[in-house]
Amino acid sequence: MQSNRTRYATATPVRQLALCVALPLLAVACWVSSPAPTAAADSSYDVVIYGGTSAGVAAAVQCVRMNKTVIVIEPGRHLGGLTTGGLGWTDSGDKRVIGGVSREFYRAVKQHYDDDAAWKFERAEAYGRYRPQDDAMWTFEPRVAEQIVESWMKRDKIRVVRGERLNRASGVSKEGARIAAITCESGRVYRGAMFIDATYEGDLLAAAGVSYAVGREANSLYDETLNGVQKRQNTHKHRFVKNVDPYVKPGDPASGLLPGVSAKPPGEDGTGDKRLQAYCYRLCMSNVAANRTPFRKPDGYDERQYELLLRNFEAGDMRLPLKPDMMPNGKTDTNNNCAVSTDNIGMNYSYPEASYAERERILAEHRRYQEGLMWTLSHHPRAPASIKREMSRWGLAADEFVDNDNWPHQIYVREARRMVGEYVTTEHDCRRLRIVKDSVGLGSYNMDSHNTQRYVTPDGYVQNEGDVQVSPGGPYLVSYRSLTPRRAEATNLLVPVCLSSSHIAYGSIRMEPVFMVLGQSAATAAALAIDGGTSVQDVPYDKLRARLLADKQVLDLPPQTKSRPVLSSLKQPGIVVDDGQATLRGAWTPSSSTPPFLDGRYLHDGNMGQGEKTATFQADLKAGKYEVRLYYAPHSNRASNANVTVHSADGSKTFSVNQRAKHGAGRIWRSLGLFDCDGSTSVVVSNEGANGYVIADAVSFVAQ
């Protein structure tokens, strides 16, 4: 093995820079890691944390503060999960509700960048997200996050074991509903009074026999509007906006489908399935020539995987299919964007339940796909010149992930297993239609699901499905019972990451600051359960709340936070055609900023492109007389002259609708009158000549 000195001397200048950064960090990592485990080893702790994610780190710090012995067992080699693995663009929502250890982390980030020495490749004042007056900073380089995490482990003398994977087949020993010990593949046994599953996958909870869900529930299960299949939400930018042929030989279904396109029908809106929102690696790129390595063409590169991308360019969609959010020092947190991007849609369905070997294969395929994507955008002959010019500015950051060829060590597991515990957090909680009384933290980010599948539309083109981005309208409370399994299944296990939540609610909760908040709360509850000799289900909430508040957690809604009405089209009179079923011309934007609205959102025209946009609502009506109603939420920024035309058996009649004027008491609809209708009847909302935002939410046809 080469010594560190030899490795440095023989490295290229860029590699020398990376090693200068990495070697001290690796030394810290070695300090807190235990020696290689032996099969005979058997350890006992107050709290055993399986999974060194950000939640696991926060939980370990809190255990020490509550004078409990603790060990963190990390299946990989790095702590911090996505926080240290490339997700430096913190999806934080309302930052007022991030407290405790979580806020300490972001304050530590700010303290790091307060030092002029932290700015190696740019000036602090040139980076717009560094604000000297702020108490915390929410964007950061991966290596900085890892340095903070490792310094905490050293400071608190926390025992960390790396490279230890749970024996998922027989590695959980239980005494009744109580976990006594877990055994890893090495044979090493870890006993504890309390256990915390802080993994992204939920491996410990599953091995312990705790109930869980994988995939999307039907809307009907929890009376939600945004769960299940969501074709009607498909007005976002992460879709095909041009017609792209999905067949190997264009126009020939017999030639087969291109890679990544499903031959199965997508399913009906609102129905459940086992599909998962897509995963990706959050690449840390650099635009600094002295600190970047070129994108390489991976072994096993398959050009067919990028045929949809290239056809999409050729169809006229010239958007850069990346979202390179800037971090300090000329680096990025690179996220998915547009129709074909870093998300490897449909290739992760088996990941939650897969064996370790199968997971490694899935991870390798995801890496190969993303490496090939970056090479294709940079070098492929069919890639547009404008895209190549933009990509020529970038490469992987040479001083990041130096032990993994500058590739992130953690894939973004956006969703895997979700526990079904004492309480299931749903869309109702996120929208504050239901307010729990046992809060252990708050969420506030969008109910956000990435695409889950690619399918062939009825007119023979490819389309994405599953992307949902709907604001909850402010912060909401997360129940302690969502961290606890059902009493009969496990009485000394807490789950702050794969917590008890529906798919769409998890889309909001699954943010790294929230995981840290919930990790701290889980550790606090574990310590109180030990002190009181109780199960986790019987921890007195008044004591838990008092300790969390003393530790500066935020547990209550900020002042002036109000509930927001969410109305279902299923509960409205008549035959309702929602905006997701409308035929659109031009680029409409989904929103949930101004309630009330039907089915979780409405569309607006952006107050631009007047005359270019229409939304056509048509229902399969039996011939007869119907009252036609137009649904929209009024606001002072709306058009006072929205153009609405009803085409019916009576002919065509156009209305100028004042969408600023309030409806009658208890109504969100405007009656357009009675019409003789049949299957050809349609209502067209247009922004032609509009003097404000035009809203298209829904139309209903009420038989008379």
**pLDDT, tens digit (0-9, with 9 covering 90-100), for 643-692:** 999 999 999 999 999 999 988 877 889 999 999 999 899 999 999 999 99
Q: Is the dihedral of CA 109, 110, 111, 117 positive or negative?
A: positive
Mean pLDDT of 409-428: 97
Q: Tell me the pLDDT tens digit for each residue of 271-281.
A: 999 999 999 99
How confident is the model at residue 28, as a pLDDT?
41
Task: Report the pLDDT value the prediction gives residue 35, as an integer from 0 to 100.
Answer: 44
What value does the mean pLDDT of the chain take?
Answer: 92
Residues 6+ positions from 639 with CB-CB distance below 8 Å: 657, 659, 660, 687, 690, 691, 692, 693, 694
Give the DSSP per-residue string, 116-173.
GGG-SSS-GGGSTT--TT-S---B--HHHHHHHHHHHHHHTT-EEEES--B-TTT-EE
For residues 157 and 70, give the distance between their C-alpha atoms in angstroms, rounded to a whole number. 10
Mean pLDDT to the nearest integer, 181-207: 98
C-alpha to C-alpha distance for 89 and 141, rounded to whole angstroms: 9
pLDDT for the residue 203: 98
Which residues are bridge partners to 462 per DSSP?
Answer: 456
User: pLDDT category, 570, cuts 50, 70, 90?
Assistant: confident
Tell me: pLDDT of 18 over 80: no
Distance CA 677, CA 670 (A): 18
The structure tokens listed for 161 are 């074991």
| Whether pLDDT at 418 is above 70 | yes
DSSP 620-646: -PPSEEEEEEEE----TTB-SSEEEEE
Residue whose C-alpha is closest to residue 88's, from 68, 69, 115, 109: 109
Query: What was the pLDDT predicted at 39?
Result: 39
pLDDT at 21 over 80: no
CATH code given to domain 569-703: 2.60.120.260
17 pLDDT more than 70 = no
pTM, rounded to two decimals? 0.81
Q: How confident is the model at residue 8 (pLDDT cuts 50, 70, 90)?
A: very low
* pLDDT for the residue 590: 79
Sorted by sequence, the CB contacts under 8 Å of residue 87 that are 6+ apart come out as 282, 333, 412, 512
**Half-sphere exposure for 181 (CA within 13 Å, toward CB):** 11
Of 498, 501, 558, nearest to 522 by C-alpha is: 498
- Tell me the domain boundaries of the chain: 285-404, 569-703
> Cβ–Cβ contacts within 10 Å for residue 496, how many?
33
Tokens of 684: 């067209």
Instruction: Determine contact, residues 163/76, Cβ cutoff 8 Å.
Output: yes
